[in-house]
């Protein structure tokens, strides 16, 4: 009996050392399928099925579906609205080998929730934005991209604010702060328009 217990314990230890295995793929045209990849064992990972929807104001919505290993602490849903562009992440996570082959999460239809934050339009950051869904924080981010000062403001869910105020936003290094309360993220003129910042930020959230 003792030998059996030791054997089971050793198997568990070996399994943890090797790390979880997850299906990995990416698609901009619906569900995807791909190879099984072993997750790094340095931190606890989960297998994730993620949908990232990007909506341009007055235009179309594009969607990317991703399956991958992600740190368990980053299994989150949330959205970020910068006025002209809004991104929503919908995530399903599980903790067994290759447990993420299914369909991506269903998109969420968000309605205005009565909260307001300032947003930037070109160099003017005094525009007021209606938040939607579970966006209960106002976002401000400043930094440097390609040698130029950048600023973004808008609405965000709490999940988008996690991880501390100082972050690396893709190719942009700077500070990200969030606050609660209508129009709590101030209003002032920005040096440059930074709508291009959204894509590096989205890539960090998806593939970090």
How far, in Å, CA of 5 to CA of 199, rounded?
A: 50
Query: pLDDT digit string (tens) for 168-199?
Result: 344 444 577 899 999 999 876 444 333 334 43
C-alpha closest to that of 105 among 88, 91, 94: 91
Alpha carbon 3 to its chain centroid, in Å, reads 46
Q: CA distances (Å), 193 to each of 144, 148, 161, 189, 196, in order?
A: 12, 10, 21, 10, 8
C-alpha closest to that of 156 among 174, 184, 132: 132
* Coil/strand/helix, residue 183: coil
What is the pTM for the complete model shown?
A: 0.70
| Count of helices and strands (H, E) across the chain | 3, 13
194: tokens are 């930074």
Most distant CA pair in the chain, distance: 73
What does 72-97 look like in DSSP terms, one character per residue? GGG---EEEE-SSEEEEEEEEEE-ST
- Look over the chain and give the mean of its residue pLDDT values, rounded to a whole number: 76
Fold of 112-196: CD59 (2.10.60)
148: tokens are 């130029």
Query: What confidence score (pLDDT) does residue 188 get?
Result: 60
Query: Please, what is the end-to-end C-alpha distance for the chain in angstroms?
Result: 44
Q: Are strands 78-81 and 85-94 parallel, antiparallel or unpaired?
A: antiparallel
* Coil/strand/helix, residue 66: strand
Query: pLDDT digit string (tens) for 125-165?
Result: 899 999 998 999 999 887 666 677 778 899 999 988 875 43
Residue 129 contacts residue 83 (beta carbons within 8 Å): yes
Query: What confidence score (pLDDT) does residue 163 get?
Result: 55
Query: What confidence score (pLDDT) does residue 73 get?
Result: 86
Query: pLDDT digit string (tens) for 42-99?
Result: 889 999 999 888 888 877 888 889 999 999 988 888 899 988 889 888 899 999 999 9
102 vs 177 pLDDT, higher one: 177
């Amino acid at each position: 009996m003792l030998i059996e217990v030791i054997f089971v314990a050793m198997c568990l230890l070996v399994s943890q050392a090797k790390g979880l295995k997850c299906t990995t793929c990416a698609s901009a045209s619906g569900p995807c399928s791909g190879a099984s990849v072993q997750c790094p064992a340095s931190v606890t990972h989960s297998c994730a099925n993620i949908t990232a929807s990007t909506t341009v104001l007055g235009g179309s919505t594009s969607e990317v579906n991703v399956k991958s290993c992600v740190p368990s602490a980053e299994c989150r849903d949330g959205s970020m609205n910068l006025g002209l562009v809004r991104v929503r992440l919908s995530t399903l996570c599980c903790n067994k080998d290759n447990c993420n082959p299914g369909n991506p999460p269903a998109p969420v239809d968000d309605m205005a929730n009565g909260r307001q934050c300032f947003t930037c339009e070109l160099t003017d950051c005094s525009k007021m934005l209606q938040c939607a869904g579970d966006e209960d924080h106002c976002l401000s981010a400043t930094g440097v991209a390609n040698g130029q000062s950048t600023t973004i403001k808008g609405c965000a869910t709490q999940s988008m604010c996690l991880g501390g105020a100082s972050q690396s936003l893709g190719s942009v290094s700077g500070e990200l702060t969030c606050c609660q309360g209508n129009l709590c993220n101030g209003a002032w003129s920005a040096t440059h328009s930074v709508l291009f910042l959204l894509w590096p930020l989205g890539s960090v959230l998806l593939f970090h």
